[in-house]
Structure 1
């Protein structure tokens, strides 16, 4: 039952006492969750995969390494149900179970502190994730455990990372030397395509050679000044950002190599002085009458003004594709869906339709809800987007689901838990 503000204590000291008690309760719950994760893994050991292989088609379930070297393996398909009942994705559930196993088997001092209540479970899990990610040997993990256990309640993330690096250097010097050689060149250009702001911006970070960085800076400054001379009234930072885009489009328009898009005839002539359009961005825009905010395929939002600006920039060639009716019932004779049917299912489902999964539908398989071999047709009503992990789970494990409406699916887990996945989520 939710507690309202009016039900809280009305003095400062009692509010603090209530907050402290609530935090302690949450910490105890997190520690108990780690115990439950270990128990779930114990109930689904790697040997259960071998037992099931005799009757599972192709024995497609495998042993899943979820913690560091030497820790027990678990049966792959058990992870999804544990995550589903917790309301988290299969990948997140794998992290929870792996961290619990790592603590109990390879970091026992930290495990005991977390279970005794004098180390918050989230701190213990953070350390476990670091040792798993580093694939420390058993000796190196024991070293980290011994060094950190007395101080883990006040150790920063950077300190944990430094100790993990020290353990690698101490117990695996050849690996440490190899990683040092790789780290010597930290150059990169990273475009965070998964994080698009409401204003339609995207974060880009880079680490460049000194000479390249200076040349890039000079080019950006020159481009920003040129935009100002052409009448731009944007701020300096905004003009610098726009200059990067102009530089990129100018670079793409150079005849250095044939564009695969041009070769395949996917780009038409530009409206800008006869030069070819230099980028193709396909936007699937979902609009509601009277609403000035549109939803894009990846779940991002954009205003109509932002969309208009994207479409009216120089060297942008706009092609309007036929609208696909998501409510139309399409049927194909064979096993493979037609391009139009596939696109319809992708746009309808948006993501993998397994509980709590958020993988984009465009990278998913299209699953026959009623299997093709059992008479299921290739149609709008019998296809759904499933990522490869959950497609295998549905095909080879005891999970079952049915379509209850447009983009609405009812799933039943092996132990009888029921989940509804629709446009609002799970």
Structure 2
């Protein structure tokens, strides 16, 4: 079955028209949401102005409550909710006016605005926030919020007044564990800690959960004795483990924390206890040797302080070396000090995530797809391969969506209605050089 393969031209045209309508409606919604934030921000400012002119000792808290109550009763919602929205809206409008304006113009959505502001919330002054916003907004106009969030964190690092080493030392003081009751006999356990360690924990839990699924029924052992012709050593088949991956992760985490080892899940050989957490660190060589302070990146998602990156690199048994162009930052080659599947590593380093437009699934969770099928003569080479998550892999093979390599890791996807979406590999976390800083590309 190929989805929409039997659709008539009228039905395809109707889909195209619906898509255009949906885009326009979303732009209008984004604009109206920005307008609402503007009204809430003005309400917050009004409350502060009233408090300031009367020199209220509570610095405007009661005035803000009063304005929030006015808004809330008119809207028939909680005044606590409205007051929180007022504070959030005022923060965005005052700290990131360019982002608010872009949303108001319908160029980005509220989700895009949120991830951009969250990534830049620690920037120290208005000038750095404005420069950061000016660079990331054009990227947000063409990519999904998940992809924008990762790029925004990288771009925001360029405008930090303090090095990530200094900020990480301060941030480590906030590490903690907490619980939150959510009802129905369930409670959340939260953990805030260094990114490299937390991601390593999550990766180890994932590997254990997958191992439990693969070995859900340990081999049964029986006492050494003879069986009569009417007896059989076979026992009834065990019930299949129907837990999801997330459920197995949660059960294993509790098992580990309560017993110190996954005793409730492990086999006699101790296979789960032998599993170790792994993380992927991308670090420019200039940072690695201490000549630069460009942050490393953890799993292509979040910045990591150079000290932690150097420590991990020093303990690694092997490295993937990604060679990039010194001007453009494009991947030139990937090799390793130890032999291995170089092509897979090259693709993983190039793609970093699913290559379907807007998808943010990490490459380690994706399939490697032949864009031109191998069975039909497609070559097994870099120009014909790319990572697709299972959802979009299936979509490519069972719908009229088509992909065409354009070279350099760039792919053009054509939708059933004929629209073309170009997906480019994400920029590498690397250092580039130019003689004229004025011509340096923002990404």
Determine if the TM-score, normalized by the shorter chain, exceeds 0.5: no
Higher RCO structure (Cα 8 Å, ≥6 apart): 2
Give TM-score scaled by structure 2 length: 0.36
